[in-house]
Structure 1
Amino acid sequence: MIDTIHFLREDLIWPTVIGLVLLWVLFLWKEYKAVTTTRFIIRGIVALLALSAVASLFLEPVTFQKQVKGVAVLKTANFDSNLIDSLKSTTPALKTITYKENQNLQPQLDSISELHISGDGVAIYDLWQFKNKKVYYHPHKPTPGIIKLAYDTEVLLGDSLTVTGLYKNSFSSNTVLLQESGARAIDSVKILNQDETVFKLHTLPKAKGNYLYHIIVKDSLGKIISSDPLPLTIKDRGRLRVLMVNTFPTFETKYLKNYLAESGHEVLVRSQITKDRYKFENYNRSQKSIYNFTHQNLSEFDVIITDVSTYNGLSQRSKNAINYRVEEQGMGLLLQADARLIEQGSKFGFRFKRKNIKALQLPSWPRVKIPVYPATLTKDALVEPILVTKNNTLSAYAQKGTGRIGTLLVEDSFQLLLSGNEDVYHYLWSTALGKISQQQQSLVQWSLSDYMAYSDEPFQFNLRTSIPLPKVVMNNDVVVPLVQNVTLQDQWSGTIYPNGYGWVNLKVTQAPASLKAMYVINDTAWKAKKVYKQITENASFYKNESSLSSESSIPVPFTKWWAFTVFILAMGYLWLAPRIYKN
Structure 2
Amino acid sequence: MNVHYIIILSALIFLAFLLFKEWKRENSSRLWIRMIGSAIAVVSLVLLLIPIKYEVEKKESINELVIFTEGVNLDSLPKNKKVYTVDSSLLQKNFKTKLTYIPDLAYYLAKHPQVKQVNVYGNGLASADLASIKKLQFTFHPSAFPSGIPSIYWDRQIISTHKLQVQGTYLNNLSKPVQLVLKGLGSNLDSVVINKKESISFSLTHTPKLVGKAVYKLIALSGKDTLSQEEIPFEVIEKPPVKVLVLAASPDFEYKFLKNWLYQNQYPVVFRSRISKDKFSVDYLNTKSTSVDKVNQSLLQQFDLLIADDAELALLSASEKLTLEKQIEQGLGLLIRINENKPISVFSKKFAYGAPSTIRDKSYRLKLMENLLSPLEIDQPLYFNLKSGNQPVVFTSEAKIMVNNMMYGSGKIMVSTIPATYHWFLNGLKIDYANFWTELINKSAKKYNNQLQYKIEPAFPLINQQANIHIENPEAGNPVSILVDSLVLAPLQNKYMPFVWKGTFWPQQKGWHSLKVNQQSATSFYVFGENSWSSIRDADKIKANLQIAKVQLQKPAELLEKSEKEKREVSKWWFFFLFLMSAGYLWAEGRMD
TM norm structure 1: 0.47
Larger Rg, first or second structure (1 or 2)? 1
TM norm structure 2: 0.46
